[in-house]
């Protein structure tokens, strides 16, 4: 279920099964964070006991968000083409397809273009890093050979180059893509019991399922673009 606090910060609170054991996951919306046990900012927290999760939510001031009687409903959505009931049916069909079609699930997890774009970005960053290191080496070589650069000029140039190198290395570290097999395993785990929830679950349980599986839905005319939570973001 979606929950918000007085600051307008929102999280999704979901019950999941992992390795046959019940867990309770509090997940921050995109671009937001929640405080972890280590006092660091995290995108989600997992609890093994319901009372632990509820205590955390109370301390953070979260309460259940108001929503309409549909699985999919966003008060900020300006959709005027699609009936919500029709959207519900389409999303339900897509979830069922992922649960029963391994090929469709693999495509949703990887995306035909995302992997290529990520690889190109990493290659560009790596090339830039090599160029910067080459510049650093040439500056030091020039100084050692008694070039026109003074020690202070060399020091300034080296410091600037090192700052750029540190920035590119940090960007490379962030650009390391999660192995597809890990995302696929996460997707399979998230879909466990999905059919039973869709067939027999309450409205709140269906909402929780949808929100745990889908990061967002983009509507553009007749097109519906589903961003799955277990797939890399565009």
| Annotated domain spans of the chain | 1-60, 114-174
Q: Which residue has the higher pLDDT, 15 or 159?
A: 159
Task: Decide if pLDDT at 83 tops 70.
Answer: no
Query: Measured between alpha carbons, how far is 190 from 23 in angstroms, rounded to an integer?
Result: 12
**Structure-model confidence comparison of residues 140 and 63, the more confident one:** 140
Query: Can you give the length of the chain in residues?
Result: 234
Sorted by sequence, the CB contacts under 8 Å of residue 63 that are 6+ apart come out as: 3, 4, 5
Residue 72 has pLDDT above 60, yes or no: no
**Which of 54, 72, 113 lies closest to 203 in space, CA to CA?**
72
Tokens 């995290």: give the residue.
42
Higher pLDDT, 196 or 177: 196
Band of residue 53 on the pLDDT scale cut at 50, 70, 90: confident
Rounded CA-CA distance 151/156 in Å is 9
- pLDDT value of residue 182: 66
Average pLDDT along the chain: 75
* 115: three-class secondary structure by DSSP: helix
Query: What pLDDT, on a 0 to 100 scale, did the predictor assign at position 30?
Result: 58
The pLDDT, as a whole number, for residue 68 is 45
Query: pTM higher than 0.75 for the full model?
Result: no
Contact between 187 and 232 under an 8 Å Cβ cutoff? The reply is no
Residue 66's pLDDT is what?
Answer: 44
Residue 139 has pLDDT above 60, yes or no: yes
As a whole number of angstroms, the distance between CA 63 and CA 6 comes to 9
Q: Could you report the per-residue pLDDT of 190-219, keeping only the tens digit for each?
A: 788 888 888 888 888 888 888 888 888 877
Q: Is the pLDDT of residue 109 over 50?
A: yes
Confidence band (pLDDT; 50, 70, 90) for 22? confident
Confidence grade of residue 118 (pLDDT, cut at 50, 70, 90): low
Q: What letter does residue 62 receive in the DSSP assignment? A: -
């Amino acid at each position: 279920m979606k929950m918000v606090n007085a600051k307008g910060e929102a999280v999704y609170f979901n019950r999941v099964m992992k390795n046959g054991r019940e867990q309770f996951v509090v997940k921050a919306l995109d671009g937001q964070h929640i405080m972890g046990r280590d006092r660091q900012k995290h995108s989600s927290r997992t609890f093994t006991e319901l009372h632990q999760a509820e205590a955390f939510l109370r301390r953070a001031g979260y309460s259940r968000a108001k929503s309409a009687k549909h699985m999919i409903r966003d008060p900020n959505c300006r959709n005027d083409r699609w009936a919500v009931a029709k959207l519900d049916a389409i999303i339900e069909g897509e979830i069922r397809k992922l649960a029963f079609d391994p090929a469709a699930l693999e495509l949703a997890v990887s995306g035909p273009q995302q992997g290529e774009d990520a690889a190109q970005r990493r290659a560009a960053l790596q090339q830039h890093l090599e160029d910067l290191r080459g510049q650093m080496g040439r500056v030091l070589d020039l100084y050692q050979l008694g070039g026109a650069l003074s020690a202070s000029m060399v020091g300034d140039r080296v410091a600037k180059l090192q700052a750029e190198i540190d920035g590119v290395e940090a960007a490379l570290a962030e650009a390391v893509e999660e192995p597809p097999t890990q995302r696929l395993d996460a997707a399979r785990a998230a879909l466990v019991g999905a059919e039973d929830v869709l067939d027999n679950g309450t409205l709140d349980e269906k909402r929780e399922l949808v929100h745990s599986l889908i990061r967002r839905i983009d509507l553009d005319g007749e097109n519906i673009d589903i961003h799955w939570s277990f797939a890399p973001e565009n």
